[in-house]
Amino acid sequence: MEVAWYADIEDFLGATLEYLKREEALNNLMLGLALRLRREPDFYEKVHLAALFQAKQLRLAALMTEPENLVIYGTAPLAASELNIFCSALLERNLPMPGVVGPKKLAAGFAAVWQRLAHCTAELKMQMRVLELRRVDRSLIGPGRLRPVQAADFDFLLAAIRQFYKETGLNPDPDREMCRRAAQSYIKSQAAFVWEHQGRVVSLAAKSRATGRGIAVNLVYTPQNLRKRGYATSCVAALSQKLLDAGFEFCTLFADLKNPTANRIYLQIGYEPAGDFCSYSFSS
């Protein structure tokens, strides 16, 4: 067993990309982050890249952009002894480890080993399903239109981002300045889209993390007083179709398993399960 560390994203991708692409939809998070680092090497202040090999074959890939969770992927089920070797190597580096996110069984196995070796507590934070779409049921797109966010949408976008973080549990108390910068970035990059009905902005979704053949949809949000009217369905369906029309073979989306209503909507649109993910947080 060998643990390799990479200072250069090209070296990391050279060792892992072939494996990650085999399950491109499932690996949309790690691939999206890694490919962004390739395009914009200075986008993240601190990045850690590592991989575990057995007989020169990749067993596990890991990527962390501080202060976010470690993202992991295994090419096959890993034994506790393999995870023990990898976690020990992480501990030797004395890296900050707020948590881990990855395929369900792998993340659970990593959390159990890390909890034992680091003498900390691991808490399951989110259970998610990676969904993949290749064809949209266009009949679900209702009256209205999809358009990119504009400067005039800033207040709506700012409020939506804050509530999205709160309601999903990603950040129970999101920093207003962070949300303000995010809103400005979405407007500048034209990566977020709103559904407009009768001249009123009623729902939001964004594109993110192009992985080659696929691209992710996220930041799906409708204000509480406008829910159960089909706006989110129309918004996600229209955006997904727009991305397919742009040449992507498929779209991906992380669905929170605690939100069965949203999950049902995504399945109706045409999204199908690609695999389950979990995130754990670590505390002393």
For the stretch 192-220, pLDDT in tens is: 999 999 999 999 999 999 999 999 999 99
Residue labelled with tokens 């504009």: 150
- Is residue 174 within 8 A of residue 231, CB to CB? The reply is no
Phi, psi of 166 (to 5 degrees): -65, -50
pLDDT at residue 171, as a whole number:
81
pLDDT band at 98 (very low <50, low <70, confident <90, very high): very high
- Give the pairing of strands 99-103 and 70-74: parallel
Cis peptide bond N-terminal to 67, omega within 30:
yes
pLDDT band at 170 (very low <50, low <70, confident <90, very high): confident
- Containing 269, the helix (H) or strand (E) segment is helix 260-269
Phi, psi of 189 (to 5 degrees): -85, -15
- Residues ≥6 apart with Cβ < 8 Å to 240: 133, 136, 217, 251, 269, 270
Q: Express as a percent the part of the chain with pLDDT over 90.
A: 92
Give the three-state DSSP class for 8: coil
Around Cβ 135, how many Cβ atoms within 10 Å? 12
Instruction: Give residue-wise pLDDT tens across range 216-245.
Output: 999 999 999 999 999 999 999 999 999 999
pLDDT band at 174 (very low <50, low <70, confident <90, very high): confident
Query: What distances in angstroms separate CA 176 from CA 98, 166, 173, 188, 222, one per listed residue?
Result: 22, 12, 9, 18, 19
Q: What is the DSSP letter of 188?
A: H
Domains of the chain: 2-119 (3.40.630), 132-276 (3.40.630.30)
pLDDT, mean of residues 160-171 = 90
- Give the pairing of strands 2-6 and 47-54: antiparallel
7, pLDDT greater than 90? yes
pLDDT at residue 172, as a whole number:
82
pLDDT at residue 232, as a whole number:
97
pLDDT at residue 173, as a whole number:
85
Going through the chain in order, the beta strands assigned E by DSSP cover 2-6, 47-54, 57-65, 70-74, 99-103, 121-133, 145-148, 192-197, 200-208, 214-221, 250-256, 272-283
